[in-house]
Structure 1
């Protein structure tokens, strides 16, 4: 079920009404209703995979109980190992089987022994990368004794399958979200209002920005050999905006929806394209995944505590694993390695933590020239790296870049966009993007674009803004597109 669908428009009010007006007397009934609603939400896509998420939840629930009862270190390690094998095994089979089979065959072919691997027609379960990491963090934290195991199967299963963030995050830690299922929740009108505003801003990002950028991105990447270098560069920039609008838009809708039910999810994006270097970008982009790899992979590998060479090794490992998490293609692995290479100069010069707390141009209307250059160069690097993320293969990505860095870059893109036969659509989109970036810039120290202070912003401006955003969503609502991260 898509957030930007008629089905969800009918589903959400029904779940909300029953949650607060029928089951509000008993927290156990509320949790059970959340669980039922979440399974309906997930099963709407393909009910067969409900057994998969239920089995993963059951395994980790039982292992959590056993970890609490065992003190023998070897027994505890075997229990943790079992959880990791089950979760990573499911993820590896559904997501990476064909990739490993093809790569294995390519390796033999390289040495003169051609192979024809048996590929399987595997359907990737939506959201498996997200809820798998969520359940693994639970068993790891219980193993580390940072979290008491859940003894309530309903609240635990509801935590794993919580429908607002089930499909594409944020990846919630059990230490943060699970306790919220055990506390009585009281409806707060102010929280609900803010949740609705964040949902509206997320829909704007998805419907107006991401889906309309996708029209040009899909055409340019599919026919890149026919276009000039300047058009391909604009295609990369539009994809950078598309994936940000698409993914952060999903997170905004998820966080806002959770607030309607009295839950607080962690912030997943913090205006990353206003970052002054790559290190800051990764502290602001897909925060739940970045911190997951930091806490459960980078630090256990030794982090930055065992010398420069091992620190560099660990940086490349987490970035490349992060890339591989996104998809079974060498393009994703190279995308991760490229970001590690971008990060390396900051690490070697000990400037990787210079922007950890403040926001660019904090308290100012405009950035300084230096800050503007920093943001522009960071955005340029990330946009070029996104080419590998979007391309179907390494060959396509390298060809795409070779055209950009050629004399064809000097050709004007006007004629190319004219051949796409989209009329004035691109002009409208251009002005909408400018307006979108202006709103994001003015709100960069807030949680989302429509978090307007009722005491400082006049009512007429606030409601005028809300209605303008809604009108844009209706007018620019073209072909419905799935969220990009559904395939991850």
Structure 2
């Protein structure tokens, strides 16, 4: 069941009504049943995997909390439970990748071995809920959160339908108390949720799906394209991926708000970042904070020497790349981000005592340079993220500037290759401009809350305009999957 499907348009209002009309003490049942139904819509067999993960982490957390009695070994329980959870993830997501690369390595040293692979469907959202489970287990071990004794509430925490497919990766100390709290319906919260969902649908249906036509056209047949076509397709992919993923997140957060639950904000205008470090403070925030708290800091963070600090950054980003997919493309993509962050740490204006950091006028002037440069570097890394193979990525890099010395011909060739006309460019650039303005304003204020405070004759024309844009620019009758579902 996709967020952008007719099924979800029926599902959510039904759950909304049931949730608010029944007594508070039974609402968790509605959430649990709806979450498992939502998840089972992708395949009933997937439920067994998420249920197994839920049972293992639930029992392990209770056993670890028994350490106060001194009768058990909490660290041993933590290690075993984390191994079991990551083992499930490895089996479904990385087993074939591991065996194929192991066989290639053995063949390189003249040991003829055929890879043993399994034909397994990757359970939807497994990377997200496994990481959420691990964070919960570690937090219980550290004493940052109490082990949840109500199995039903804990099962909702793991499987809550708005975030189960693509996050955010929620921490127990934020979501579990909300599932226990006595929540009253608030019109303002529900209204905000609907507006946030509308903005998410705009990003997904208008921008992400619209740009995917050109991105797929080029990246699925790279040898037929060169020059500006490759550069423009890469730029379009950067916008597509951002709108696809953040659009999903907006719909997820809006859906949760309709039920009185606040999820973690996952994006903060990432393409206005002034450095790679800043970018990861704005992009997929729940994952980057997870990597910081459970990998980077335990490795020593920045409390070590410069060489060790650089190694810690690289390990963290390589894990991030591998988390995204069982492919060397993703590992290299993560390594590129890690290397760029290590390199930018040597620039003098990143020092805390730098006048560029202390003086807001200097900082603004610096951002006029660093923001576009950061965006270009992020787009460079996205080539490895989008290309099917490393060879394809190299082809893009080698051919994207072919003919640039004659810019007029460079642009005309792009238009002919991609079938773009001036009308097509306007059709795609207007929504991108709207996205740019929204993110720019969001750096200073909550755009939705700001519009909601305006008078009736100001805010309602804007709502109608957004609805008309969605209806006019979106593909009709098409429900495309969200990109991050594959992770």
Aligned mates of 1:425, 1:230 — CA distance in 2 = 16
Aligned mates of 2:81, 2:349 — CA distance in 1 = 38
Q: 1:116 corresponds to which residue?
A: 114
Deviations 1:243-295 (A, max 9, x none): 00001111111111111111111111000101111111111111000000110
Deviations 1:433-465 (A, max 9, x none): 122212221233345x5333444x343232122
Q: 1:231 corresponds to which residue?
A: 229
Q: Is the 8 A contact 1:277 1:378 kept in 2?
A: yes
Q: 1:353 to 1:138 in 2, by over 3 A?
A: farther
What is the aligned length?
Answer: 477
1:66 matches 2:41: no
Q: 2:372 corresponds to which residue?
A: 376
Aligned mates of 1:127, 1:198 — CA distance in 2 = 22
Q: 1:96 to 1:446 in 2, by over 3 A?
A: farther
Q: 1:55 corresponds to which residue?
A: 52
Q: 1:439 corresponds to which residue?
A: 438
TM-score, structure 2 length as denominator?
A: 0.93
User: How many Å apart are 1:416 and its aligned residue?
Assistant: 3.6
Deviations 1:461-483 (A, max 9, x none): 32122112112222222143200
Q: Is the 8 A contact 1:316 1:337 kept in 2?
A: yes
Match among 464, 468, 475 for residue 467 of structure 1: 464
Aligned mates of 2:350, 2:318 — CA distance in 1 = 18
Q: 2:42 corresponds to which residue?
A: 45
Aligned mates of 2:53, 2:349 — CA distance in 1 = 41
1:179 matches 2:145: no
Q: Is the 8 A contact 2:63 2:72 kept in 1?
A: no
Secondary structure of 1:392's match?
coil
1:404 matches 2:403: no
User: How many Å apart are 1:371 and its aligned residue?
Assistant: 2.3
Q: 1:466 to 1:354 in 2, by over 3 A?
A: farther
Q: 1:204 corresponds to which residue?
A: 202
Q: Is the 8 A contact 1:191 1:259 kept in 2?
A: yes
Q: Is the 8 A contact 1:343 1:352 kept in 2?
A: no
1:340 matches 2:338: yes
Secondary structure of 1:147's match?
coil
Aligned mates of 2:133, 2:264 — CA distance in 1 = 17
Aligned mates of 2:401, 2:417 — CA distance in 1 = 23
Q: 2:151 corresponds to which residue?
A: 153
Q: 2:142 corresponds to which residue?
A: 144
- What is the Cα-based RMSD across aligned positions, in Å? 2.3
Alignment of 1:54-133 (within 5 A): 54-71=51-68, 72=70, 75-133=73-131
Aligned mates of 2:282, 2:249 — CA distance in 1 = 13
Q: 1:4 corresponds to which residue?
A: 4
User: How many Å apart are 1:349 and its aligned residue?
Assistant: 4.2
Alignment of 1:419-458 (within 5 A): 419-421=417-419, 424-447=423-446, 449-455=447-453, 457-458=454-455
Q: Is the 8 A contact 2:318 2:331 kept in 1?
A: yes
Bigger mean CA deviation after superposition, 69-78 or 134-143: 69-78
User: How many Å apart are 1:34 and its aligned residue?
Assistant: 0.1
Deviations 1:173-224 (A, max 9, x none): 0011111111101100001111111111111111111111100001111122
Q: Is the 8 A contact 1:41 1:163 kept in 2?
A: yes
Q: 1:413 to 1:108 in 2, by over 3 A?
A: farther
Deviations 1:91-117 (A, max 9, x none): 001001111111112212323344321
Bigger mean CA deviation after superposition, 60-69 or 397-406: 397-406
Aligned mates of 2:99, 2:384 — CA distance in 1 = 22
Aligned mates of 2:424, 2:104 — CA distance in 1 = 44
User: How many Å apart are 1:407 and its aligned residue?
Assistant: 4.0
Q: 1:300 corresponds to which residue?
A: 298
Alignment of 1:225-304 (within 5 A): 225-304=223-302
User: How many Å apart are 1:353 and its aligned residue?
Assistant: 7.2
Structure 1: stretches of 5+ with no match in the other structure: none
Secondary structure of 1:45's match?
coil
User: How many Å apart are 1:341 and its aligned residue?
Assistant: 1.3
Q: Is the 8 A contact 1:322 1:336 kept in 2?
A: yes
Q: Is the 8 A contact 2:215 2:233 kept in 1?
A: yes
User: How many Å apart are 1:73 and its aligned residue?
Assistant: 9.4
Deviations 1:131-180 (A, max 9, x none): 11111111111111111111111110001101111100110000111111
TM-score, structure 1 length as denominator?
A: 0.93
